[in-house]
Amino acid sequence: MSTAPVKERAYLVGLDHGQNGLMTEEESLRELGRLARTAGTVVVGQSVQRRPHPDPATYVGSGKLEEIKSARERTNYSLVVFDEQLSPAQQLRLESALEVKVLDRSALILDIFASRARTREARLQVELAQHEYLLPRLRGQWQHLERMEGAVGLRGPGETQLETDRRLIGQRIARLKREIDAVRRQRALHRRRRTREGVPVVALVGYTNAGKSSLLRTLAGAEVLAADTLFATLDPLTRRVGLPGNETILVTDTVGFIQKLPTQLISAFRATLEELESADLLLHVVDATSPAIEAQWATVMETLDGLGLAEKPMLAVLNKADGLTRNDGEPVTSEADLTRVEVTSPAPGAALLVSAVEGWGIDALRRRLAFELFGVRPEVSTLA
């Protein structure tokens, strides 16, 4: 008999209310499915409701809620995941009505980050985000006391435990923030040391799974974790990269962005994202094969703007060219085929077309970086 844990069966729910962000609800729900699978679940079904605004009590309307309940007989789901952040009250009512665990997109992303955290720094940042997400949802952890016979007599212990938990979590949050501040100071020392050395720093940014880690590995020729999965790496990783003209730069990979990223994560990962502030150039890596390329570009730019980095010098790179087709409809099979590909770039200026996996376009990228950072004149074909 297999001893492997049984995977949870996830049912996805989306709401098309005309304000879903930069992606269509179909694209967003497709991405939610990838998140659910990354978290280790099996997606067994999904449902979308169109209405002007979310229901304040249960997010979806009563009719859609009954439809979701009846879908359990057909799909045998054990978990329902909603595509936007639920209020604590909505989550409680939904769990009571559906009688299964209910998560929202934020909780799912936090869970993935927790499973990906490897270093002490990443674990500190993820734990802080989890506690800040949990704090307003504590009351639901003690709701069972109110449903017991003689609940009036049990309110005291419940309220006492609730306040105890709040105090303990508050103390833990304060401690985590102090430890993360120490990490920020240490990183600041490293950045000042790099500045004194006079070596330019290029920071890779982009939507999750755009291929940033693969690009760093190809540029640096070193072992860097790269996987076809969401949020494969959380910790910033810096490698030395040689350029034409015997020039040298440092390239730093940072955590990927995603639409509807929980605000707790942006706040907690500020120590990591500060690496972007000291960069001389941002290298925006874009998945050229993504059907949501425009929305992904806009999401990254919106996040950078929120971090005060929208005016940083930036170079766009369209990655995964090995997954494109030529103008004649045939698949791209060599670097020479890159001149026979037309891709509508979301970047306002010129963008480079590369394949980090195959190594295509990498020499052109090195020459372009040498020009941008040292004035070494390249001969680079660009994609408008």
CA distance 365 to 380: 8
Residues 8 and 42 sit within 8 Å (Cβ to Cβ): yes
Q: Which residue in 267, 260, 301 sits closest to 32, CA to CA?
A: 260
CA distance 80 to 97: 12
List b or e across 215-247, with b for residues whose CB sees 16 or more CB atoms inside 10 angstroms. bbbbbbeeebebeeebbbbbbbbbbebebbeeb
Collapsing DSSP states into helix, strand and coil, what is residue 341? coil
Residues 202 and 250 sit within 8 Å (Cβ to Cβ): yes
Q: What is the CA radius of gyration of the chain?
A: 24
pTM for this structure?
A: 0.84
Per-residue pLDDT of the chain (384 residues; tens, 9 = 90+): 555 567 899 999 999 987 656 788 899 999 999 999 999 999 999 999 999 999 999 999 999 999 999 999 999 999 999 999 999 999 999 999 999 999 999 999 989 888 888 778 888 888 988 888 888 887 655 444 344 343 333 344 445 667 778 888 889 999 999 998 888 888 788 778 877 778 999 999 999 999 998 999 999 986 655 555 667 666 678 899 999 989 999 999 888 888 888 777 777 777 667 778 889 999 999 999 999 999 999 999 998 998 889 889 999 999 999 999 999 999 999 999 999 998 888 988 889 999 999 999 999 999 999 999 998 765 544 443
Sheet holding 247-253, edge to edge: 237-243, 247-253, 201-206, 281-287, 314-319, 351-353
